[in-house]
Every structure is written in structure tokens, then in C-alpha cells.
Chains A and B, each alone.
Chain A
């Protein structure tokens, strides 16, 4: 086992991003000092990521020089704004390897994207219609935003919600897959990477089984899109959602990608401007995707920021970001293993694992852990991380979560481990 601190002494950790210091310099907030002069150690990136200067600048530039509404404005600024907004769609489509830019719909966040699918499926008629006796399958490791919409859908339609359980190691229990995914299954919705356990799920394998029975596959990529290459075609998903603010972009914008053949069959979600073909007093007809699902003035400057964000990630290379995450996560897992009384929930090796590490420390409540860490400038999350069923599965009410990202250094992990030892001393445990 590598002792924490070994890397800080000057050895390079294999897999880290080249020029990590220069990359960190792209993120102005990382130079902040907090109360009592502690430098910020930001280990809450699964909650929201920090933003590079290029994203901030792109948004400021848009507001300073190009601001106007999109599509509806026929003047020069309107054309510029529309071009910038639609260019962002192209960038996101490229980031996801989407076959068509029209398959990319901008939403408010990942929650709205998932609710869009669940609600329009509830309203769908014909082959996509869900009724009594039908089943929707999700997993015990979902974020509440990929649980509640399906609870609402199944309650409204008299359908049944079924769950993949978890193994003690925090992986999906696939042993009952043939009992769960059956001819009655209409939807399989699952997260690609768990926001609590860090687990990376075999999405393509599950999608293949789901498609064999004709089910629609919905993938929550909120934690996957920031950390690994996402190829929507290879993933096997029919719908895939993620949010802008976790991929170094702004809040207020999310993405729903959908396979055209299915997406185009869904009825409208929100009614309003820009989503119509024509409106008469008797009835309306609707625009094709993507605009059918973008009623009202969209998040324009947020889209511009998201476009800059995915460009930034693509320039770094998502394979490189993934390698960095794996290296840092492995280093963090080794460091945390040296803290007596600490139990990690989820896989304990970096293989097939994302950068979110949730843990508990015997005798100290997660809120108190995060409070003491915060007093040393270390930002983590404490609570149920909007994944209450997953916490219940592991017999805990809440946990402390440290989550790294492309700008995280081994020295920051060392600070976390030191901070946890200090926390134990403060609460006189171990």
C-alpha cells in the first residue's frame, strides 16, 4: 500500500493529466483561500464542477457583445445569438458522438431531461404507451431524479416499478436480470456512474438485454459525462441525460439526447413558443425535434457556456480525463484505507469506478466530518446525496462524500486524509 504523502514528496502518479498545474491555472476559483488562510481543497465535484476561465469568458462575451433572443429575433444580434446557440448544439452532439444534432435537446438540468422522458412516455399512445401490467425497471443506486419520475409514471399508469439490487461491493446485482427484464418491461432506466458509490455500470450489456424485449433504455449520464468518453451509439441508450454544471459548464442547462426514431414519436412536453409548427384556435401542430421539446426562450448564454465547456473537455481529451480520475481515485482509496474506522461504500478499487467516494467514520456523523474538514478549507458533501435507497441498502442514513475531478491533485487527497485523522482526534474516536 502506498502511504499517503508519498506522491506529494515529488513522485509522479501515473495517469495524471499532463501539465496539471497549467490546467489548474485555468480554474480561477482554485486559487482561493478560505477562512484562517486555508487554501481551497475542492472535493465536491460530483455535486458541481468548477469552471475554467474560457467558459466564464465565453458567457461574458456573449452577454457583452451578442445578447439577444434566438430564432425569433430577425436582426443582426438575433442571427449571432441563434448561431451561437445552435453551435452549442453541434458541440454537444459531437461530444456525445450523436448521429444527428437534432437529437440533442437543451433542458434546465438532468432532472428536467429525465422528467421530460418519463412524462412524455406517460402521455404517449401507440407502441410506447405504458399501461397496467407493464413494468419499469430501475436500480437501487439511482439518484432521486432517476427514481421519482418513474415512481410518478408507474403510479399514474398503474404500472409496476422494479429494481435491480446491489451487491455488497456496490455493483449492480445482475444475477436476476432475466427475472427483471421481461416481456412486460417497457422502460429500463439506470445511471451510468453512481453519484454515491462511484460504480460504473455495464450500460451497453443491460441495454442489449432491454432491447431484446423491446424496452426503452434511459441512461442518466450526469456523473459519466464529466468523467469518461460518452458515445451515445455505443452506449446502447435510447435516451441519455446529463447536466451542464458537472462538465465544467454553467448551471441552468441540461441535455437530453434521444435516438431520433423514438424521440420523434414522443408527444410534446411543455407547450409554448418555438415548439410549434402552427397554432390555431382549434389546435396546434408541433415542431420536429429538437425544437418540439424546447418551449419558450431557452437558456441561451448557458448553452454558449456549455459549448465552451465541452470544447474544453474535448481539447483535454476525455480518455485523458478518465485516466486522471482513475489515478486520483485509486490514490484516494489507498489513502482512505489507512484511516482506521473508515468504511468506503462502493467498490474499493479504481477499476470500473468513478471519482465519487462515499464513506463513513465510526463514531463521527458525516455532518460533523464535513464541518471539521470545512474548517480546514476542504469541501466535501455530507448527507444522503439524493440517493436514499442506496444508503438504506448499506444500512446507513448518510455518508461523507469526497469527489475528485480533472483538476484534483494527489496533494489534495493527502490534505483530505490528514483532515480525517484530525477529525477523529477532534471527536476523540479511534
Chain B
């Protein structure tokens, strides 16, 4: 069993020195995700900014408890998504998901995944894949909550405007 392919140096580095840790203001959505089998937990806040165009991931902050894989995956994820537009970040998420679900057969693209290529070995340990995905699922959930709320507000504004026009 190739333990070193699972616990790559990059993963252990992020585990010991996680990036973007802590819960910060401002944020538009906060989520709490749990891995029910092992008890790993994460509270995550997402702050999106908008300068006219696509929404940008301005900040992702978190308070998490879990194993080296889940902690390192969270740290790497924040590095990857902060500063990207939401569609860009979602594309990285898709790439990472494909890698994780590939059972070790997918060749990771370093251009897209950067430090996250270190998780290629995790895909060979099915029991640990959910550890690597916990924070990504939390981020996706929080982001869709922000966008959903915004979409709702926009819809209502449009609906209100339409109602007014009818009067």
C-alpha cells in the first residue's frame, strides 16, 4: 500500500500550515458541513464581490476540524478559488471532482489544479475521497446560496418592476 502517494509532502505542508484559516467578515453565506461517518466538520463563509461582470470569489474563510486530507484539501481549495470568478472556480471544482472520482486513473492537470494535483493519490483510497471533497462541497453549497439569494432578489426586483409597470 503506497502510503506516500496518499500523504504527499504538499498535503502534509498544508495540514501543518493551513492557508486562509479562520472565520472572517464580510460574507454573504455561511454553511456547516459534516462528514457523518467520521465526524469531520467545517464551518465555511463565502464572500463574493461583483464589479459589473461575473461574481468573483473575494474570500473563503473557515473553521474546520478533521484529518490531514480534509484539512489540506480545504487549504488548497481556498488558494485555488479565491480571486477567481465563480464560473472559473466551478471549472476547477469540476476538474478536482473528476480527479477524485477517477480511482487513480485520471492524470491531473497542474495548470488547472496547482497544489491540488497532490491529491491524485487520494483517489486510490476510496474511503478518503470524501475527506478531500468535504470543503469543496461546502464551498459549492455556500456559493450557490449566495447566488441563489441574489438571483431571488433580482427576480423579485424584476417582478416588482413588472408589477409597477402594470399599474
Interface string of B126-137 (1 = CB under 8 A from A): 001001000000
In chain A, residues 375-429, which have Cβ atoms closer than 8 Å to a Cβ of chain B? 375, 382-384, 388, 391, 397-398, 426-427
For A35, give its contact among B1, B68, B128 (CB under 8 Å): B1
Which one, A35, A36, A372, A382, contacts B38 given CB within 8 A?
A382
Residue-wise, chain A 343-382 has the 8 Å CB interface mask toward B (1 for contact) of: 0000000000000000000000111100110110000001
Known contacts A365-B68, A367-B131, A368-B67: does B38 contact A398 (CB below 8 Å)?
yes
The CA-CA distance from A384 to B66 in the complex, in Å, is 12
The residue that B39 contacts in the complex, of A372, A388, A426, with Cβ under 8 A, is A388
In the complex, which residues of chain A have a beta carbon less than 8 angstroms from the beta carbon of B41? Answer: 397
B38 touches A374 (CB 8 A): no
Residues A367 and B7 in contact, CB atoms below 8 Å apart = no
Judged by a CB distance under 8 angstroms, whether B161 is at the interface is no
Check A375 against B67 for contact (C-beta < 8 Å). Answer: no
Chain A, interface SS category:
helix
| B76 is an interface residue with CB less than 8 A from chain A | no
Q: A109–B60 Cα gap in the complex (Å)? A: 44
Complex CA–CA separation, A426 to B68 (angstroms): 12
B38, A383: Cβ atoms closer than 8 Å? yes
Of B6, B37, B125, which is within 8 A of A383 by CB? Answer: B37
- Please name all residues of chain B whose beta carbon is closer than 8 Å to the beta carbon of A366 when the two chains form the complex: 38, 67
In contact, B1 and A368 (Cβ under 8 angstroms): no
**Cα of A397 to Cα of B38 in the assembled complex, Å:** 9
Task: Give the residue name and chain of the B residue nearest to A383 (CB).
Answer: B38
Residues of A with C-beta under 8 A to B12: 427
What residues of chain B lie closer than 8 Å to A398, measured between beta carbons? 38-40
Q: B50 CB to closest chain A CB, in angstroms?
A: 36
Residues of the A chain whose Cβ atoms lie less than 8 Å from the Cβ of B40: 367, 397-398
Please, which residues of chain A bring their CB within 8 A of the CB of B71? 365
Complex contacts, A35 vs chain B, CB 8 Å? 1
For residue B69, CB closer than 8 A to chain A, the reply is yes
Contact of B65 among A36, A375, A397 (CB under 8 A): A397
- Near A by CB (< 8 A), chain B positions 55-95 give 65-69, 71
Please give, as numbers and ranges, the residues of chain A lying within 8 Å of B38 by CB-CB distance.
366-367, 382-384, 398
Q: Which residue of A lies closest to B131 (CB)?
A: A367
Question: In whole Å, how far is B164's beta carbon from the nearest beta carbon of chain A?
Answer: 47
Q: A35-B1, A371-B3, A375-B3 given as contacts; is B39 within 8 A of A384 (CB)?
A: yes
Question: Is the beta-carbon distance between A391 and B3 smaller than 8 angstroms?
Answer: no
Known: A36-B1, A365-B67, A365-B68. A371 touches B39 (CB 8 A): no
Contact (A365, B39) CB under 8 Å given A36-B1, A375-B3: no
Residues of B within 8 Å of A427, CB to CB, are: 12, 68
**Are B1 and A374 neighbours in the complex by a CB distance under 8 Å?**
yes
User: What is the CA–CA distance of A398 and B40 in the complex, to the nearest angstrom?
Assistant: 8
Interface residues of B in 1-18 (CB under 8 A from A): 1, 3, 6-7, 12
11 contacts between A and B (CB under 8 A): A365-B66, A365-B68, A366-B67, A368-B67, A368-B69, A371-B125, A372-B3, A374-B1, A383-B38, A427-B12, A427-B68
B residues adjacent to A (C-beta < 8 A) = 1, 3, 6-7, 12, 37-41, 65-69, 71, 125, 128, 131
Please give the residue numbers on chain A whose beta carbons come within 8 Å of chain B beta carbons, in ascending order. 35-36, 365-368, 371-372, 374-375, 382-384, 388, 391, 397-398, 426-427
